[in-house]
Amino acid sequence: MSRKNVTKMREIKLVTIVGARPQFIKAAPVSRAIKKHNGSHGVQVREVLVHSGQHYDYLMSKVFFDELGIPEPRYNIGAGSGAHGRQTGVMLEKIEDVLIKEKPDLVFVYGDTNTTLAGALAAVKLHIPIAHVEAGLRSYNKLMPEEINRVLTDHVSTLLFCPTRASVENLKKEGLSAGVYRVGDVMYDSFRFNIKIAERDSNILKTMGLTPKGYYLSTVHRAENTDNAGRLESILRAMNSCGKPVVLPLHPRTKKILDERSSRLRLKNIFMTEPLPYFDMAVLTKNASAVLTDSGGLQKEAYFLKVPCITLRDETEWMETCEAGWNVLTGADKLKIVDACLNLSFRKYSRHPAVYGNGNAAEKIVKLLIKHVA
């Protein structure tokens, strides 16, 4: 490259803030696309990764960095667990220090966790523009901490990268249209990139002695289910009566609660495990009869793999999966859950529209970003 070209290159610095399990999955394809497009349109992008430390156990954090090839974060601010206000406050204070030191041109935040909100607040108060990936999702349930986090983050962001048509519409209803782009879902990018590798590398079916379509896969971690004894018990009793074994990788908080209660419930049909890495989860999802979950990510991953999903919530941000017939909302109602399991023909699984894009959301994000700054 000639000296003339070097002087022409515009360099921009991004700080990417992640901290909870799904954010590692979402940020990985964007980091990869940044590397791929670096230098295009005369823009050199430098990404500085910040880990808030919201998730810190090996199986909740490091294993995702290893599997997804995410580089070691430049900063790990080690916020750890705590009550929502305290956890968000600790992160806000420490992320602010990082942003003052790094002086980025833009901050990237993902999804709807306390890490997302802390990153967005720290940035906006320093007048640093924010790009929110997975903008515009709404459950319209303000009792969910995630709903508060995403509404506030959307309203202070400059670039809002939406996964779906509905998310763009949601923002429009709130008066947000400038800087809003429908790009598709970065989780679909991650899925597309990794599924073959996962199938090659994971031995989880053999290790657990499972046969394809001979079990259900479940995750339960939302506060509305774990912190409500009646709801959790109803979900577990349903799993115990749904005809096939249920594999239940446990989020640490759910584990803590179940350690106190499950012996009393005699859950013979449920096989509890540690939290599982991304590859094992992908293989388990692909081969399950159905997925029972309160996770947003897993609802979509089931859809990507054309596996029916039973959502243990009263509403979902991912309505497209229900509209296409692959997902049904049962809440924590035991009868509804068992009925859905035993009648997996609850919908005709014929339509499978590409509602989450084509697996190139990250590419679109980076191209838009470069256009924005060029």
Q: In the range 251-280, which residues lie near ligand UD1 by CB under 6 A?
A: 252-253
- Residue 13 as a binder of ligand UD1 (CB under 6 A): the answer is no
The answer to whether 89 contacts ligand UD1 (rule: CB under 6 A) is: no
Contact by Cβ (8 Å): 285, 291: yes
Closest listed residue to residue 246, CA positions, set 282, 281, 219, 226: 219
Q: Please tell me the distance from the alpha carbon of residue 340 to that of residue 308, in angstroms, as a whole number.
A: 10
d(CA 124, CA 122): 6
Position 65 contacts ligand UD1 (CB under 6 A): no
The span of 31-39, 107-115, 119-127, 155-163 binding ligand UD1 (CB under 6 A) equals 107-115
Residue 54 found at the interface with ligand UD1 (CB under 6 A): yes
Q: Residue 221 catalytic?
A: yes
Under 8 Å between Cβ of 238 and 310 = no
Choice from 67, 146, 280, 301 touching ligand UD1 (CB under 6 A): 146
Nearest to ligand UD1 of 261, 352 (CB atom): 261
Binder to ligand UD1 among 16, 31, 52, 113 (CB under 6 A)?
113
The stretch among 40-48, 111-119, 227-235, 351-359 that binds ligand UD1 (CB under 6 A) is 111-119
152 in contact with ligand UD1 (CB under 6 A): no
What is the nearest approach in angstroms of ligand UD1 to the Cβ of residue 203?
24
User: What is the DSSP track for 264-313?
Assistant: HH--TTEEEES---HHHHHHHHHH-SEEEES-HHHHHHHHHTT--EEE-S
What Å distances lie between residue 282 and 107, 188, 191, 213, 239, CA to CA? 30, 12, 8, 14, 21
**Other Cβ atoms closer than 10 A to 229:** 10
Query: Whose Cβ is closer to ligand UD1: residue 156's or residue 373's?
Result: 156
> Site for ligand UD1 (CB under 6 A): which residue of 96, 145, 156, 367?
145
Q: Tell me the chain's radius of gyration from C-alpha atoms.
A: 21
The answer to whether 26 contacts ligand UD1 (rule: CB under 6 A) is no
Annotated catalytic residue within 55, 221, 251, 352: 221
**Min. distance of Cβ 257 from ligand UD1 in angstroms?**
10
Residues 299-318 interacting with ligand UD1 (rule: CB under 6 A): none
Q: How far is the CB of 61 from ligand UD1 (least distance, A)?
A: 6
Specify the residue, 73 or 179, whose C-beta has the smaller distance to ligand UD1.
Answer: 73
Angle at CA of residue 258, ends 253 and 260, nearest 5°: 110
Structure token digits, residue 360:
């190139």
Residues belonging to the chain: 374
Stretch of 91-99, 106-114, 126-134, 162-170 lying at the interface with ligand UD1 (CB under 6 A)? 106-114
Neighbours of 314 (CB within 10 A): 13
Q: Does 57 bind ligand UD1 (CB under 6 A)?
A: yes
Q: Which is nearer to ligand UD1, 55 or 182 (CB)?
A: 55
In the chain, beta strands by DSSP E: 10-18, 43-51, 75-76, 106-110, 130-133, 159-162, 180-182, 216-219, 246-249, 270-273, 290-293, 309-311, 327-329
Select the residue interacting with ligand UD1 from 16, 22, 276, 284 (CB under 6 A).
22
Residue 227 binds ligand UD1, judged by CB under 6 A: no
Cα separation, 275 vs 291, in Å, equals: 16
Residue 52 binds ligand UD1 (CB under 6 A): no
Choose which of 60, 176, 265, 373 interacts with ligand UD1 (CB under 6 A): 60
Binding track over 171-210 against ligand UD1, x by CB under 6 A? ----------------------------------------
d(CA 339, CA 202): 32
Q: Whole-angstrom Cα distance, residue 276 to residue 286?
A: 14
Catalytic sites, residue numbers: 221
Contact footprint for ligand UD1 (CB under 6 A)? 20-22, 54-57, 60, 81, 112-114, 145-146, 221, 252-253
